[in-house]
Structure 1
Amino acid sequence: MTSIDSITLEAADAAAAERFYTTAFGLDTQLRVRASDAPTDGFRGYTLSLTVSQPADVDALIGSALDAGATTIKPATKSMWGYGGVVRAPDGAIWKVATSAKKNTGPATRKIDSIVLLLGAADIVASKKFYTEHGFTVGKSFGRMYVEFESGSSPVKLALYRRKALAKDAGVAPEGSGSHRIAVSVAARPFTDPDGFAWETTSIAAKP
């Protein structure tokens, strides 16, 4: 089964982005940053989600992200499915922090239960077929709207969401062009998916 080893975000100021992610979310081994001035405009076609156990942890992580320079897209609030909010990191990446719990069971721990990379797909069926042909195993699938793959021992889960629906969930317009400013590391041969997302072999992605 193919799975994600780590994610590489591209930023104009890689050192500043690294400091942000360490300070705001405590991410290191799961997330890498490298310098890039590739043109990008509007929605980059993906979001990253941090799943936590209770609302206090949502507030703690969003609070530290805002203190470190992130901007609010959607303030943390209760909903039918739980509690969460969305922020934009200084490098432009969109992060959702959420929990299915509606009440706290203790003080905030800032512990992240899972990281989910949601890729916006123009054609869910075609992208699902593409990823299964590249060794990914489907865990959940909801027609032409959403697909989630088994993650195995990977620290990052992969899911596909219809692009317009993903943008709506994040609270941004779906239009965007240029570089995605993200690459995904995998222990397999490199490839590019139908929506232009680049996958690199782990050894290549790990190089400075």
Structure 2
Amino acid sequence: MITINSLTLDTPEPTAAKAFHTALGVDAHITARDAEAPTTGFRGFTLSLVVSQPNIVDAYIEAALDNGGATVTPAKKSLWGYGGVVQGPDGALWKVATSSKKNKGPATRHFEDLVLLLGVGDVKAGKQFYLDHGLEVTRSFGRKYVEFATGPKVKLALYGRHALAKDAGVSPDGTGAHRIVIRSDAGTFTDPDGFSWETD
């Protein structure tokens, strides 16, 4: 199985980004690198923290806002559960969500999954590209969505770019660098949508 070991986010403000990642408890999996590659608008990906209940969503969002984050979509109930979206000081979009609508205990600072969702132009083509590079599919919904087995640290999924932007509450428009590097044991390559992978 291919394992994603960590993610590197490029930012002109690495110190602020590191403090934000530490506050969310993801600093073991995400690093910030000083870089200023030109980029505007939606960068084509989101990061998600999946948690067990609504008060944990609120706790993480509060920590994010207290450490340089900005509200994109306030936390609220929906058909699928409860969640909200914030933007980190490095510009990355973070969704914190749970499928539960009720609290069953006190809020903790524990997330169940860290998920990298890539917004792609063609989910079917992206799926085949990653299959050809040794990744294994764990769940797939035709041309709409696909998840891969990438180990316990960071999970990977593909979603249509417009659908992902809509889910995050932002415009799909954007140009320039993604400002993210995926570090794994899959080798060094760039996928059809411009996302860079490097050997860890």
Is the TM value for this pair above 0.5? yes
Q: Deviations over 1:90-135 (max 9, x none)?
A: 1100000000111001110010110000001101111000001111
Query: Take 1:43 and 1:5, find their aligned partners in 2: how far apart are those partners?
Result: 24
Aligned match of 2:94: 95
- Partners of 2:86 and 2:94 within 8 A in 1: yes
Q: Share of identical aligned residues, percent?
A: 60
Aligned match of 2:103: 104
Aligned match of 1:126: 125
State the SS of the aligned residue for 2:167.
helix
Query: Take 2:29 and 2:182, find their aligned partners in 1: how far apart are those partners?
Result: 10
Q: CA deviation at 1:150?
A: 1.6
**TM-score w.r.t. length of structure 2:** 0.98
- Partners of 1:50 and 1:95 within 8 A in 2: yes
Query: Take 1:29 and 1:67, find their aligned partners in 2: how far apart are those partners?
Result: 20
- Partners of 2:85 and 2:95 within 8 A in 1: yes
- Partners of 1:75 and 1:86 within 8 A in 2: yes
Counterpart residue identity of residue 18, structure 1: K
State the SS of the aligned residue for 2:21.
helix
Aligned match of 2:154: 156
- Partners of 1:2 and 1:134 within 8 A in 2: no
Q: CA deviation at 1:3?
A: 2.2
Aligned match of 2:6: 6
From 139, 163, 171, the counterpart of 1:173: 171
Gaps of 5+ in 2: none
State the SS of the aligned residue for 1:161.
strand
Aligned match of 1:77: 76
Q: CA deviation at 1:20?
A: 1.5
Aligned match of 2:197: 199
Q: Deviations over 1:4-56 (max 9, x none)?
A: 11111111011221011112x01121111111111000000000000001101
Runs of 4+ in 1 over 4 A off after TM superposition: none
Query: Take 1:117 and 1:40, find their aligned partners in 2: how far apart are those partners?
Result: 19
Counterpart residue identity of residue 194, structure 2: G
- Partners of 2:13 and 2:89 within 8 A in 1: no
Q: Deviations over 1:162-207 (max 9, x none)?
A: 00000000000001100101000011320000000000110xxxxx
State the number of aligned residues.
200
- Partners of 2:3 and 2:186 within 8 A in 1: no
Counterpart residue identity of residue 99, structure 1: T
Query: Take 2:16 and 2:82, find their aligned partners in 1: how far apart are those partners?
Result: 29
Q: CA deviation at 1:151?
A: 2.9
Aligned match of 1:26: 25
- Partners of 1:43 and 1:177 within 8 A in 2: yes
Query: Take 1:79 and 1:13, find their aligned partners in 2: how far apart are those partners?
Result: 34
Counterpart residue identity of residue 145, structure 1: K
Counterpart residue identity of residue 196, structure 1: G
**TM-score w.r.t. length of structure 1:** 0.94
Query: Take 1:26 and 1:18, find their aligned partners in 2: how far apart are those partners?
Result: 10
Query: Which residues in structure 2 correspond to 1:35-46 (within 5 Å)?
Result: 35-46=34-45
